[in-house]
Chains A and B, each alone.
Chain A
Amino acid sequence: MSRIFQVALGILAAIGGFVDIGDLVFNTQAGALYGYDLLWAVVVGVVGIVVYAEMCGRVAAVTKRPVMTVIRQRLGFSTGLVVLIASMILNLLTLAAETGGVALVLQLFFDASYSLFVLIAVIALVLIIWVSPFEVIERLFGYVGLALLVYVASAIHLDPDWSAVGEGFAPQAPGSALYAYFAVGLVAAALMPYEVWFYSSGAVEERWEPKDLSINTANAVLGFGLGGLLSIGLMITAAQVFHPIGVQPDTIGTVALGAQVSFGEVGLLLALVGIAFAVGGAAVDTCFAGAYNLSQFLGWEWGKYRRPSRAPRFTLTWLLLFALAFVVIQTGIDPIELTEYAVVLSVVALPFTYLPVLLIAGDPTFMGEHTNGRISNLLGWLYLVVIVVIAVAAIPLLFATNAGGG
């Protein structure tokens, strides 16, 4: 039974990556605009992140090095510093967006001032992280976030044309810049670097060793696979509910409405709870990812498993990130728009995050008998090409489509 709980790390990393506030709306938009036609992009993203998450976890278990340490060692101080700076900005913006997202969900529950809920969200998240051990945080946000499985149930309940759904898993050439924008965005969102920064550091936190590699594989496949399944559920639900009547989702309330249409108030409540914990989980992912990255780069003691007094600079970093995120949200920027900018910024970090991981994971000097097999290597290099294409295409598409506005 305890081994079932050991996939919580993967689930939390996946939920934070696949169904953060921006992805929830983005997946729903994709389904509303294009029906089932972009399901293939979710699968492409899932396979990519499973490949790389497994590598990151394996590297962490064998070498005891998380991703940022690997980046610095492999790419050198200067490049590592650029990645670090980009990562800190990305993590801060995403943390602000996710915290704002939690506040938006609370507002849908309780209808009071958004600003008040932002403060409550920040305080609640800080308190939970402060008092809870790492495993409890993983399980709380990871498992309660699975209330989003209501969208998978909704997708089935709405009884779509399954042959049309199946056709959506076959890749299609982009018919327009907007379609390409969504395809690139869906793949990029699945490969957001903070997922693996968090995942690999979490693996070190959990003291994984080579004997735990099966747990790593289970985490990567089940955890991120579940994240992909949730994305597919969201998209199919949107295709059934919103696409036929021309709804253009751009709020988290619209996302929740999809579950309500299927299951009434119960569906709504499950959706809102799931969204709150998934988005809260994303806040935890990004806040820790930022603190991990800075600490690892500068050689500080780090880790949630350490008492705050034993890792004071790590602790101060994640607290400071929350304080800065609060300031960012107070500017009034829409959390969903904020994640769109964050995805664009992440494009800078993507190749520099995954290339060092691929090089180390394929190097027998570091990995011994646990070095990449042929399939891992092949998929790893294939996806690196995909990542470079995304990195090149994302910003022009952002401008060409007016950030998806058409």
Chain B
Amino acid sequence: MVAMALLLVAVVLAGCNPLNPEELRRQVESFRSIAAEGSLIAADVADDRTKATFVRVQADTLAGEADDGAQKLNDASAPEDLQQHVARAIDLAQRASAALGDLAVSPGNEAVGAQAEDELRRIAAEAEEQAAAINEEEP
């Protein structure tokens, strides 16, 4: 009973600390990483130089990481000056997850691969810009 109460307090307290710019920047950089890696996989799908099972499993794994990151950001309490960045980061993660999901569903489709590659490269570039912007704005 006591252990449950302590666990509950810990969970509540974990949610009480507001998101800080450093944490947000790291999360955005992880979205950049996911998208960049996804673009490499997509490029190989587009060129038919990979194995479908590998693409499916790895794309699924990356999509899961993007979703987890987006959920964490969604659940975090962000100060007002970071909320726009948070919204943008969540959008990036969701787009990455969608593109990776397409790859996972059609791991042998070269056209899907090419489309996903373009989208994931764009997302990676946007994430890099956003991480730099957060870094500059940090006090």
Contacts and interface: CB of A to CB of B under 8 A. Distances in A.
B40 A253 contact: no
Q: Which of B26, B37, B61, B124 has the most CB of A within 10 A?
A: B37
A115 to B, nearest CB: 14
Contacts of A111: 53, 56-57
B26 A406 contact: yes
Contacts of A361: none
B85 interface: no
Nearest to A248: B33
Nearest to A254: B37
A268 B50 contact: yes
A256 B29 contact: no
Interface string A130-147: 000000000000000000
A331 B30 CA distance: 26
A253 B54 contact: yes
Contacts of A153: none
A108 interface: yes
Contact of A261 (B32, B44, B51, B128): B44
Interface magnitude class on chain B: 20 to 34
Given A108-B53, A111-B53, A248-B33, A261 B58 contact: no
Nearest to A253: B58
A246 B54 contact: no
A188 interface: no
Contacts of A248: 29-30, 33
Contacts of A269: 51
B49 A265 contact: yes
B124 A260 contact: no
B36 interface: yes
Interface in A94-127: 107-111
A113 to B, nearest CB: 11
14 contacts: A241-B40, A242-B37, A245-B36, A246-B33, A246-B36, A247-B33, A247-B36, A253-B58, A256-B54, A257-B40, A257-B58, A260-B54, A264-B49, A269-B51
Interface of B: 26, 29-30, 32-33, 36-37, 39-41, 44, 47, 49-51, 53-54, 56-58, 61, 124, 128
